[in-house]
Chain A
Amino acid sequence: MATIISNIEVSPSVYVIKVAGQWAGAMGQFYMIRHRATQGIAITDPLLSRPLSIHDQGDDYIAFLYRVTGRGTALLASLSVGQELQLSGPFGNGFPVVDPSESVALVGGGMGVAPLLLAAKHYRQADIYVGFNHHSFAVESFEQILQDSQQIHITQGQHTNIVDIVDPRLYSVIMACGPAGMLQALATKIKSLHARTLLYISTEKRMACGIGACLTCSIQTVNGNARVCKEGPVFTAEEVNWNDLSHM
């Protein structure tokens, strides 16, 4: 059980929920989150836990960025300070740890910025690119941790695309999270520029258990099926089947 410290709407329908405690986890990993049981009786509607990637983490808290899209996230948004959440995790393979000498960029689109804040805290030399169709969010959090050597690029509006302003030739490694179309556009751009950039993407698919048992989150890869929750959510762009990803 985890006590909610804050649950703040940072943009229309987008919230950051922060809970108390020391929680394990690395950049790109996720937790399965649900409302706590009441007097030992499990709440079964909504039935399944919600997978949320770790947005931020400190010595005495962990935070998750989420958008209200259905009953589960609406319930999450209704919770207030002092109430409790049930967290299971951390699960999945997150973003890789690469040599500090590598030039790294972090690219996020919309809710895809969620796991990148923790990555930005790890990669203090990384440039950051974040794009939003409508309202921006979490930008202040990125700005607060920026080092002098880092740059943050922001696009906002439906006619802009964060991929357009990324020059992959400047980076040996890019870590990205966002809509499948954005991720594929980034992969295509790397290829068309003949850049030797290694692209890691964080994927998303509906899941039930979060630990690799139910197989509801399987995706197609060049090595056969892989579970987003177990082998993922982070894969290299070369591994995944884009046609499959675009049908999530």
Chain B
Amino acid sequence: MTSLICNLAGVALRNPIIMASGTFGFGREYGELYDLSILGGIASKGLTLHPRSGNTGCRVQETPSGMMNSVGLENPGITSFLENELDHMVASGAVVIANLGGAHLEEYVTGAAQISESCDLRQRQGQKAVDLLELNISCPNVKEGGIQFGVDTEVARQIVREVRQVTRIPLIVKLSPNAQDIVAMAYMCEQEGADAVSLVNTFSAMKIDIAQRRSAFQNTYAGLSGPAIKPIALRMVHQVSQALSIPVIGMGGISSVEDMIEYIMAGAEAVQIGTYNFVNLHAGEELVSGLTAWMEKEKVQSLDEIRGIV
């Protein structure tokens, strides 16, 4: 009997396919298209302590086999998420991952504490809550003068350490590919008590509108994702998987079953599907059934048989 079950910090997912933050909203829109309970997990839109309206101007541009986005963490804020979205995500039947963003240290810590307290209360009342917290350290850091948290290992250490202290929810740290040393960054996360790491977030990128003679984005730079980044992201997942004992969640340009298998062979426990959700609105259900079919065809009973074999 083929088994797709995977395990993240004691949380069992029915399969390793997680819908990535920022590409799946809170599941409402895709839930109108297919049954979300078939998915391994859903990562929420990036949440901040207070609502954010996001960036102005153009928010998306295409590049060969990729896209750049400059959404700027538009989200309703943590309070609204807990009141209006969490029940819906829980009802989907998939594992619920709350993705936490922020602009400064205190925002991360306060946000993590608020989610944690709310979920403790829910659990005391017998309600299902957030299963995993995904800490997104790739947001612009206002206080640090524009340096991204996810770039400098020692800056990131403080956030991971302090967030770890305020929550018992299993903690994933989502890494930026723009880190100076992604292996060192991942290793630091493990040292500071993270239960898993997910990588990679978008690459810092640029497009120039030559007619206007300025950047196509008001923030000058934007985040590159999609198939164009897959080979680089895969290499990073391979490097990090070899250096860590905690699970690694791989992502970056996954657009087929074969792409998922590559990430798992590189050592990933699970994978996240991001931009491909835009290309194929039924990506989740097609990848779940495709992975099952691949395993049956290849006579692979469990993904453990191929995980990290490269």
A interface, CB within 8 angstroms of B: 32, 34, 41-42, 44-49, 70-72, 88, 205-218, 220, 224-225, 230, 244, 247-248
Contacts and interface: CB of A to CB of B under 8 A. Distances in A.
B62 interface: yes
Interface in B52-96: 53-54, 56-62, 64-67, 69, 71, 74
28 contacts: A41-B256, A42-B279, A44-B65, A44-B226, A44-B255, A45-B64, A45-B65, A48-B278, A206-B58, A206-B59, A208-B67, A208-B278, A211-B29, A211-B32, A211-B281, A212-B28, A213-B23, A213-B30, A213-B278, A214-B71, A215-B45, A216-B60, A216-B71, A218-B54, A220-B56, A225-B54, A244-B56, A247-B57
Contacts of A205: 59
A209 B277 contact: yes
Nearest to B25: A213
B136 to A, nearest CB: 15
Nearest to A225: B53
B69 A208 contact: yes
Interface residues of B, number: 37
Contacts of A46: 62
Max chain B Cβ within 10 angstroms of own Cβ: one of A41, A47, A88, A224:
A47
A38 to B, nearest CB: 13
B275 interface: yes
B125 interface: no
Contacts of A34: 279
B24 A218 contact: no
Contacts of A230: 29
Nearest to B230: A44
B56 A247 contact: yes
B22 interface: yes
A214 B60 contact: yes
Interface string B251-286: 000011000000000000000000111111100000
Max chain B Cβ within 10 angstroms of own Cβ: one of A88, A208, A217, A230:
A208
Contacts, number: 104
A218 B74 contact: yes
B54 A214 contact: no
A109 B167 CA distance: 55
Contacts of B59: 205-206, 215-218
Nearest to B258: A41
A213 B56 contact: no
Interchain residue pairs A-B with the least CB separation, the first 3: A216-B60, A213-B25, A208-B278
A107 B114 CA distance: 50
B21 to A, nearest CB: 11
Contacts of B22: 214-215
B26 to A, nearest CB: 9
Interface string B29-64: 110110000000000010000000110111111101
B74 A215 contact: yes
Given A208-B60, A214-B23, A244-B56, A47 B66 contact: yes
Contacts of A44: 65, 226-227, 255, 279
B255 to A, nearest CB: 6
Contact of B277 (A213, A215, A217, A248): A213
A88 B69 contact: no
Nearest to B227: A44
A211 B59 CA distance: 16
A230 B32 CA distance: 13
Nearest to A229: B29
B62 A48 contact: yes
A53 to B, nearest CB: 18
Contacts of B227: 44, 47
A224 B80 CA distance: 15
A14 B230 CA distance: 35
Given A41-B256, A208-B67, A247-B57, A47 B62 contact: yes
Contacts of A47: 62, 65-67, 226-227, 275, 278-279
A48 to B, nearest CB: 6
A231 to B, nearest CB: 12
Nearest to A86: B280
Nearest to A71: B62
B157 to A, nearest CB: 31
A41 B255 CA distance: 9
B226 A216 contact: no
Contacts of A70: 62
Max chain A Cβ within 10 angstroms of own Cβ: one of B24, B30, B278:
B278
